Amino acid sequence: MDTFSISRVNNNEYSILYLNGFLDAHTAPELENEIEKLIQEGRFKIVVNFNDLNYISSAGLGVFMGFIEDIRKNGGDIKMCSMSPKIFRVFDLLGFPTLYDIVEEENKAIELFKN
x/- letters, 20..49, toward other proteins (CB under 8 A): ----xx------------------------
Beta-bridge mates of residue 49: 18, 81
Q: Is residue 101 involved in binding other proteins (CB under 8 A)?
A: no
The secondary structure of 16-63, three-state, reads EEEEEEEECCCCHHHHHHHHHHHHHCCCCEEEEEEEEEEEECHHHHHH
Beta-bridge mates of residue 80: 48, 102
Pick the closer one to other proteins by CB: 63 or 109: 63
Total of chain residues touching other proteins, rule CB under 8 A: 21
Q: Is residue 57 involved in binding other proteins (CB under 8 A)?
A: yes
Residues that bind other proteins (CB under 8 A): 24-25, 55, 57-59, 61-63, 65-69, 90, 93-96, 98-99
